[in-house]
Structure 1
Amino acid sequence: MTHSDAPAADLFGSAPAELPLAPQALLLQGFALPYVPRLLAALQAIAQAAPFRHMRTPGGLEMSVALTNCGALGWTSDSRGYRYSAHDPDSGQPWPPLPEVLLQLAHAAAARAGFAGFVPDACLVNRYRPGARLSLHQDKDERDYSAPIVSVSLGIPATFLLGGFRRNDKSLRVPLVHGDVVVWGGADRLRYHGVLAVPQAEHPLLGAQRINFTLRKAG
């Protein structure tokens, strides 16, 4: 049985602390929980400096997920395409710097997954309200693909999709809850991935929202 056709109950019934999703993709369950107080403080500071916004795709569609960035580079989208920029297009100012807590968490999670020495320079911060989703896509806007991707989930649960190397490959459905971290890189770096529509729920710290920090080496 492959990862993609294994039943969810078999994969998640015993709730291990670490769950391999693919040869170089790993779910670290609850890994971010010790960092949560500092992550929430960092989130507030980031959103004050660069408020969440709904960007548009190159085709003109408004994204259901609100986003902002921190770090030397920030991911943006508009009619000219997807790209990284050193400045917030809304304010013209540099994106807020990457908080130390995110650098520490990303470094530690990447090392646990076998990617020692990871130092991100970009963090995309996504805010999902109930009903928001992220369609399957590859992260291909970075200059090279040698560094892993570290994805941190806070707030209400969501289902992460980890697919293959073609859009129509079957996807593994990965339930994520507050504090979970997914790391993928190496041979799995260019897998398609996404998020199913987030269900209606409430979290005691974040209310009806899911926050996702996605840390990358973009420059």
Structure 2
Amino acid sequence: MSTRPLFDEEPRLALAPGAWLLRGFALAQAPALLAQIAALCEQAPLRHMVTPGGLTMQVAMSNCGALGWVSDRRGYRYQTSDPDSGRPWPAMPPAFAALAQEAAAAAGFAGFMPDACLINRYEPGTRLSLHQDRDEREHGHPIVSVSLGLPAVFLFGGLTRTERPQRLPLVHGDVVVWGGPARLRFHGIAPLAPPEPGAGWGERFNLTLRRAG
């Protein structure tokens, strides 16, 4: 059973109907999450995928879970195997799924059962342009995004690319959840700032948990 405090005791920020920033929600689990990321990336190494247009993505990526998100010249999609090795993606650690379920429930989305977790690594200067998460089979489930390591600025836009996004500072242990009317909002990450002296990290990891199948 979880020992996490009740949701009304957690620092939280409403971003839009259906979207919440849960500050520090994953902080207690962060060391274990980072250790599990390292083990997963030994099985399915991080790589810079290629967009359908032939551009190399700045963010290094891997996956765990029954399905993994991939991009290449054939398009964006989910598949059960790692295209680099041909093997199934590593199983999603129970702690990842439990954290996602708790965060989703805290944001009003009870019963979330993720089957895909995209692992992103950002180095200083890396950015992720505004985009929608729309490659999933259907969009009735929320997105749960966990920030670990270096701080970042999360860009949370509207339902069209032209809407000016909110700029939200994220720090180690923060979790963002969006679903319902916010599910298809554009979002991204501003170029990652260099670490400050004594930061303790040289990079940022992000776990994005979804129901893809």
Shift of 1:90: 0.3
Report % sequence identity: 61
For 2:15, what is the secondary structure of its paired residue?
A: strand
Shift of 1:37: 2.3
Shift of 1:40: 1.6
Give the TM-score normalised by the residue count of structure 1.
0.91
For 1:33, what is the secondary structure of its paired residue?
A: coil
For 2:114, what is the secondary structure of its paired residue?
A: coil
Shift of 1:34: 1.2
Asked if residue 112 in structure 1 is aligned to residue 106 in structure 2, the reply is yes
**What is the 5 A alignment of 1:1-219?**
17-201=11-195, 203-204=199-200, 207-219=201-213
The Cα offsets for residues 164-192 of structure 1, whole Å up to 9 and x where unpaired, read as: 11101110111000000000000100000
Shift of 1:93: 0.2
For 2:101, what is the secondary structure of its paired residue?
A: helix
Q: Which residue of 1 aligns with 2:7?
A: none
Counterpart amino acid of 2:181?
Answer: A
Counterpart amino acid of 1:75?
Answer: W
CA distance in 2: counterparts of 1:81 and 1:125, whole angstroms? 19
Q: Which residue of 2 aligns with 1:12?
A: none
Q: Structure 2: state its 5+ residue gaps.
A: 1-9
RMSD (CA atoms) = 0.9
Give every structure 1 segment of 4 or more consecutive aligned residues whose post-TM-superposition deviation is greater than 4 Å: none
